[in-house]
Amino acid sequence: MKILLATTYDYPHLGGLSTHMTTLKTGLENLGHTVETLSFSDVPKWRRDFIARGPSFLLNKASLGAGYVWTLNRRQEFLEQILKDEAYKSFDVINAQDVFATRAALNVGLPTVTTTHGYLTFEGISKGSVAEGSKHAQKLLDVEYSMYKKTRAVITVDTRIKEYIKREANVEASMIKNFIDVEDFKPELERRAEFRTKYGIAQDELIFFIPRRLTKKNGVIYPILSFPPVLEKYPNARLVFAGTGEMMEQMKAKAKELGIDKNVTMLGAVDHKDMIQYYALSDIALVPSIYSAGVEEATSISALEAMGSGIPLIACAVGGLKEIVDHNTDGLLVEEQNVEQLSDAMIYLLANPQEGEKLATAARTKIIEQYSHFAAAEKYEKIYQQALTTN
């Protein structure tokens, strides 16, 4: 088949959706398919900046959410214009990665399957881009529900999103959990000293790695709140955050207020190809996601990558994290927003490195058996084939 992975967001970019596209592309190509991508990044920069993004700030000032809706609509229109090109008629299926990409492909009359990675409207509410209960939120919900009904098949990355779509749109979706490239994300711990030298991290430090976009639902403030008791016992411990987002300044201020800022490193955006090196140089990974405005973590790619990379994982017991982590077997789960539990778990793994090794070994085995991009690509292939023969 000739398959197009399309999104109204940037690609490649730093984040789970982009990682998903890259990894799925690799898996599908391994099966012999031709796979290309189309994204907002393929739109001329001046149109992205001055038409899609430019008016958004002023519109949001006038009415919170107006700019957010404006931007998404412009993104869809730009993708739609590109898809009208004769070259795109040769694709057997468009796998849209968001509902506005779905609408762009359907408006052009292309056979479309939709992958749903989260809760578009409620994630906008959670990060403060849309006012809850507003007309703008309702417009977004209308697009979501109508696209779920019109696309040929819906794929979700966890059970809760599948249930959400069934409940709100009465559409039966297929659930394929997120996955990783198990050949890229594998244990490289024997190179820990090399990578620490490369990135200027002291060899004797105890590194907690938080590979998270710095947004509220990712719970990134909680490692900072939980860290003072850890530093009391282990003064050479350090938090290393990889990601950007609206929470960054608040996190920096809280770290300074608590007097731990010298033991907190914020790397900003890290290229995905470099992430394996940061996992390898770290002692423990944290994925501290929380419930926020009805939004919860899906099958976290960051958690899967940590589990595949040979270091122990501490995660909060929310959303898809509860599905992929078996507490005390291949990782540790703590109650979300529970500062004391997170501190205790961090201290426990530092005090018991052999237990951490056991968890990491079991996690790697699970990833190979259940979360390989090769197995996921076969499931996607089957859904594409069914969608094309039944519609």
pLDDT in tens, 341-372: 999 999 999 999 999 999 999 999 999 988 99
Cα–Cα distance measured from residue 95 to residue 380, given in angstroms and rounded to the nearest whole number: 10
What is the percent of the chain where pLDDT is above 70? 98
At residue 95, φ and ψ (nearest 5 deg) are -100, 95
pLDDT band at 160 (very low <50, low <70, confident <90, very high): confident
Q: For residue 126, with 0-12 CB atoms within 10 Å meaning exposed, 13-18 middle and 19 or more buried, which class applies?
A: buried
What is the percent of the chain where pLDDT is above 90? 80
Q: For residue 60, with 0-12 CB atoms within 10 Å meaning exposed, 13-18 middle and 19 or more buried, which class applies?
A: buried
pTM score = 0.78
Q: How much is the pLDDT for 158?
A: 86
Q: Is the dihedral of CA 7, 8, 14, 15 positive or negative?
A: negative
Cα–Cα distance measured from residue 200 to residue 253, given in angstroms and rounded to the nearest whole number: 24
Q: Do residues 180 and 131 touch, judged by C-beta distance below 8 A?
A: no
Give per-residue pLDDT as tens, 185-243. Answer: 899 999 999 999 999 999 999 999 999 989 888 999 999 999 999 999 999 999 999 99
Second-level CATH architecture of 2-179+372-390 = 3-Layer(aba) Sandwich (3.40)
Q: Region 129-138: what's the mean pLDDT?
A: 93
Q: Region 307-318: what's the mean pLDDT?
A: 95
Question: Own/partner pairs for 67-71, CB < 8 Å, 24+ apart?
Answer: 68/124, 68/129, 68/130, 68/136, 68/140, 69/130, 69/136, 69/139, 69/140
Assess whether the previous peptide bond of 111 is cis (omega < 30° from 0): no
Q: How much is the pLDDT for 14?
A: 66
Cβ neighbours around 236 below 10 Å, total: 11
Q: Tokens in use for 62? A: 């006038």
pLDDT at 298 over 70: no
Average pLDDT, the chain: 94
Instruction: List the single range of 103-107, 190-194, 212-216, 380-384 with lowest mean pLDDT.
Output: 212-216
Cα–Cα distance measured from residue 28 to residue 22, given in angstroms and rounded to the nearest whole number: 10
Q: Region 370-379: what's the mean pLDDT?
A: 92
- Look at the domain 189-370 and name its fold: Rossmann fold (3.40.50)
Which DSSP letter does residue 317 get?
A: S
Label each residue of 357-368 as H, E or C: HHHHHHHHHHHH
Virtual CA dihedral for 265, 267, 272, 278, nearest 10 degrees? -30
Cβ neighbours around 173 below 10 Å, total: 21
Q: Where in the chain is the domain with CATH 3.40.50.2000?
A: 2-179+372-390, 189-370
